[in-house]
Structure 1
Amino acid sequence: MSHHPLTDARQRHHPSLFRSFFQGSFPCSTACRTPGKRLDMVISSGHDMLLEKDYAALAEQHLFTARDGARWHLIEKIPNQYDWQSFLPMIAAAQRQNLQIIWELAHFGYPDHLNIWKAEFVDHFSRFARAMAQLMRDEGIEQPFFTPVNQISFWSWAGADVAWFNPHAAGRGKELKRQLVRASLAAIHAIREVYPDARFVLTDPLVQIAHHADNPDSKPYADAQHQAQFEAWDMLAGRLDKELGGSEDCLDILGLNYYPDNHWFFPDRPMSLDDPARVPLHILLAQCWQRFQRPMLIAETGAEGEARAPWLQEISENVAVALDQGIAVEGVSLYPVVEYPAWADDRRSPGPLFGLADPNGNRNLHEALALVLRSQQIKFTRRDQTG
């Protein structure tokens, strides 16, 4: 695969969409790994008890935009009744710290009383989205950002192809993808009734799937799987499965979740970091830009242990190349920005900027990562000023 840029040289893009280019994403999954056993990463990370400190810590690192989540399963325990006591403190703390939040509505979780396969799921989600937007307007939030459903494609695969978490199905991934697109579209329309100027960050993994040189016959299958990563965005835009109701005005900001292991050979052979077949991030960004012409946020990125600082360096350098090519990358968000205990034995969590809290509620800062972060913040500010 060619590593040449897919865009012509053009005027450098100057990010302006968010309060800060570098951001932090809080862990807020509420998936049920096994039926009846829910994980709440807002609790397991200690974030629920440390909202004020966590938001203040981000601001101290010049991270003035963050991704965080409302927990639908807590808010709508009783059908069509909303208890906001888990969410209001988050709004208040963010306002006090002058932090801009991109709010997730469903991060792999939903109320126990709902069947995700039924039309009622979409109806409930739409009503919840509208109620949440109205609450935020009542609380004085202006120009909000939302992610209706986090990682439609990943949730569809993990929840309905391999039964890794809810809804614990197999072989129904495409069906769940269509349902989650319906729910996302319904939420977008409902929120716009309250906030016509709301913006939406639509997240999914950004991956490279290639054929290995020793298996040339797999190329068409690898190419098809690589292209399938765009299906949810195509559905939201009404380019695919038009009966779902998608339209171009519903495809707003692309949220790209990108990690070191987002490259592999078809069907599932890992690709090493130094493999010559590995396509640089700036090329993957160019592919997305060429296809969608939408602003992009690297909504999650991080690496393990001592790799986390050089990883951010590499990400930043690739993003700088993309910006120089006129590609509208609007930010880079570190995930997880605070540590959480591993929520599955077979899932390793990337290294955070802040560790788990001690008994006094204090989190250790990863100094090497913080140093690279500050260096890149200065570089990107200077680039923007001189461009």
Structure 2
Amino acid sequence: APSAAVLIAARALMGVGGATLMPSSLSLIANMFPDARQRGRAIGVWTAAFAGGSALGPVLGGVLLHHFWWGVVFLINVPVLAVLFILGPRLIPEYRARTSDPFDFVGVGLSMLGILPLVYAVKTMAAEGVATGPVVIGVIGLAMLVVFIVHQRNTRAPLLDVRLFGNAQFSAAVVVALVGMMALGGMAYLTSVYLQSVMGHDVLSAALAGLPMAVAVAVFSLGATRAADAIGTRAAFVGSVALAAAGNLGLLLLTTSSPIWIYLVFTSIAGIGYGIQFSLVSDVVVGSVPVERSGAASGISETSFELGTALGLALLGSLATLVFRESSGGWDFGDTLGETLHRALDMGDGGTALADAARQAYVDGMHAASLAAVIALTVLGVVLTFVMRTPRKNTH
């Protein structure tokens, strides 16, 4: 990639391809395992594999960046996908929905015209303050989302089947995916910067510090169905959200000189909660609809996961940035912690105080984002307590 624009375009193309993988694999599981208990276990394995990949990715990337050119973190995907191309057609069964409805390209365009301007507006206002331009762009994004919903309600083959949201269990699971990934995605990014730029760990060390949480997600996603069988789906959902909230709350104990065990303990606690809730989300989503609609349901579930990650980076990241800038205490901060630390480095010995102030301001911003995530998860837990009261029913 000779420029940032080419890199972004290539990543967008990767996103288009990646968007087909997880919904289709989850839909295949729904077709391959009609028995609810087997399906729940299969989804637990599926979630654990996802979490395992998330755990190995940063570590492998850190090793590669330690020894090779940065672009190798993308090239390493090629042999993995080559294996899928060779073995996939031979090992993966085919299931097709009995429909000839056209693909909703208009819905794709409207959804992007809604989401992208909103994310841009939030991030721009957090970095540069409230201004007419970003506000107008944000309003346009909201209007496009309204148009998108109207289109989905009236088109023959909608990209987003809004009728599925008539099932309270399905809607609750989708919201758990959205809020849970928002909290996880936002805090994973902020704590990664914290470990490297505040605590001084290198890329590989920071990735290794994230392993306990990823392992916790993988292990407890396998046991999610057992937890649901033992204490009930509602109690498992609410309990897992409470654990995620407790883990995020513990991040408020982090300072500019905290021992690493505080980070490891509380991110692991959060990982237990995320592992259970994400596995249950997928199980409830595909179990709430007839098998022939599992593809649509899986697509909505995966969209919620991905959109939650994007919103976590946009909303929690923007909140942390806003607090960072407001906590300058008269110092001449850059737009980011990294830029400010580079400026302090150029100042020599005289930049030590600036660097210390910037690190403390970043921790203050991370605390604000952590608290916002705790509040969102707490509200979600209260809502789930009431919404998940009724037994799960199939939507026909």
Under TM normalisation by the shorter chain, which class is it? Answer: under 0.3
Give the TM-score, by structure 1 length. Answer: 0.24
Q: State the structure with bigger RCO (CA 8 A, min sep 6), 1 or 2.
A: 2
